[in-house]
Amino acid sequence: MAPAATRACAVLGAMVAPGNICRGGRIGAKYAALRSLRDTVTDLQSPLRYLPHMQSPELLHMGLSPMPTTAWIEPDADALLFYRHKLQQRQRLGQRVWQALPESMPAQLETARLLAAHLQRDYPALYSTRGQTLRCAGGEFTVPLEGGEPLWNSSLWIADDLVLMEPRGREYVLTAASLCSPSHWRLEDKFAQNMSTIHEVIPGFDVALQPKIERFFAHLRVEHPVVRHNWSVQAGNALCMRPGEKPGSATAGLYYRSERQSLRRLPRTGAIVFTIRVYLHPLAALASVPGAIVQLLAAIDACSPALYEYKGFAAVEDALAAWRGDSNSR
């Protein structure tokens, strides 16, 4: 077994019992204890894997790379944490983390079936079927393969959030999403909107990226999925970062937040599946990588004032000051 799979199997040993998932915005009575959990997580267990600011310090760029279909999802030791986190956010926020247009059902089903096949084929040590459920890590964690909310169900199998974009004429519209770990955006603001409306709040997006993204979406081929990375810095380790809300955090201090985002066109419906996997690491962890802190501070300083504010750097400016002084000795 691959090292990542071995770690995941070890961590997933304490999974909740089969078949009990969030339905209709409410968690089953057996998991009422989840209601008392704060909007926090313990530190993620995945190793420091992606430092996108070191490959491309620009925050506003496409940064697309080819992705083999076998690498669509990268399961790791954080699966249980994200499973609990998603149930907790559904209980707390309801439709603010899960929405779907009725006409998105064919694309939802296609996504769920394609994802289930991928997980079983490429990670057989972690995923298998048991009746009408997908069994994760030796039967400790199961979620229905079918049901009234196929995209939501399939999002529980993995750490990633899932977003569906479907063609409507010459535009793409967000028709369904399971979004439990947003980075400073709200699903209710973007749901059923087209790409230009979704991104209109991002400073400089209309000039730098909108034409490129529209061309990319129009020409993305089924056999050529892609991956990109994003990054930011935040106070505390909360996964759910919704604007206008003060997130709970189990820890203080600064955290480096990176996102692995993939885009894949579905062969039957033509929808594009957008996956978002969040990684959180204490900023101190970056100190072990030569140049990581210095390059991070330089990338932050290179932001325009509007982008600096949008990314939330102003809110952590005082905490970053300590790192600025310390980085001079690195």
273: helix, strand or coil: strand
pLDDT for position 42 = 63
Residues near 240 by beta carbon (within 8 Å), at least 6 away in sequence: 39, 85, 89, 180, 181, 182, 247
pLDDT for position 61 = 78
pLDDT for position 191 = 95
Going by pLDDT thresholds of 50, 70 and 90, the confidence category of residue 38 is: very low
pLDDT for position 326 = 63
59: helix, strand or coil: coil
Is residue 63 predicted with pLDDT exceeding 90?
no
In terms of pLDDT, which residue wins out, 31 or 83? 83
Of 263, 232, 287, nearest to 48 (Cα)? 287
Rounded to whole angstroms, how far apart are CA atoms 191 and 257?
24
| Beta strand segments in the chain, E | 65-66, 98-100, 127-130, 133-136, 141-144, 161-168, 171-178, 226-235, 254-265, 272-282
Going by pLDDT thresholds of 50, 70 and 90, the confidence category of residue 170 is: confident
pLDDT for position 203 = 65
State which of 103-112, 121-130, 206-215 shows the largest mean pLDDT.
103-112
Contact assessment for residue 247 and residue 241, using Cβ atoms and an 8 Å cutoff: yes
185: helix, strand or coil: coil
Per-residue pLDDT of 210-256, as tens digits, reads 777 888 889 999 999 999 999 999 999 999 999 888 766 656 799 99
Contact assessment for residue 54 and residue 292, using Cβ atoms and an 8 Å cutoff: yes
Contact assessment for residue 110 and residue 68, using Cβ atoms and an 8 Å cutoff: no
Mean of the pLDDT values across residues 252-272? 96
Mean of the pLDDT values across residues 166-170? 91
Sign for the CA dihedral angle at 259, 96, 200, 167 comes to positive
Rounded to whole angstroms, how far apart are CA atoms 241 and 173?
23
Is residue 276 predicted with pLDDT exceeding 80?
yes
Going by pLDDT thresholds of 50, 70 and 90, the confidence category of residue 206 is: low
pLDDT for position 105 = 97
The least confident of 192-206, 251-265, 285-299 is 192-206
Contact assessment for residue 133 and residue 145, using Cβ atoms and an 8 Å cutoff: yes
Rounded to whole angstroms, how far apart are CA atoms 99 and 72?
23
- The structural domains of the chain, with segments of one domain joined by +, span 3-15+39-327
Q: Indicate the pairing of strand 272-282 with strand 161-168.
A: antiparallel
pTM (two decimals): 0.85
In terms of pLDDT, which residue wins out, 259 or 44? 259
DSSP bridge partners of 235: 254
Of 175, 153, 157, nearest to 166 (Cα)? 175
pLDDT for position 194 = 86
Is residue 110 predicted with pLDDT exceeding 50?
yes
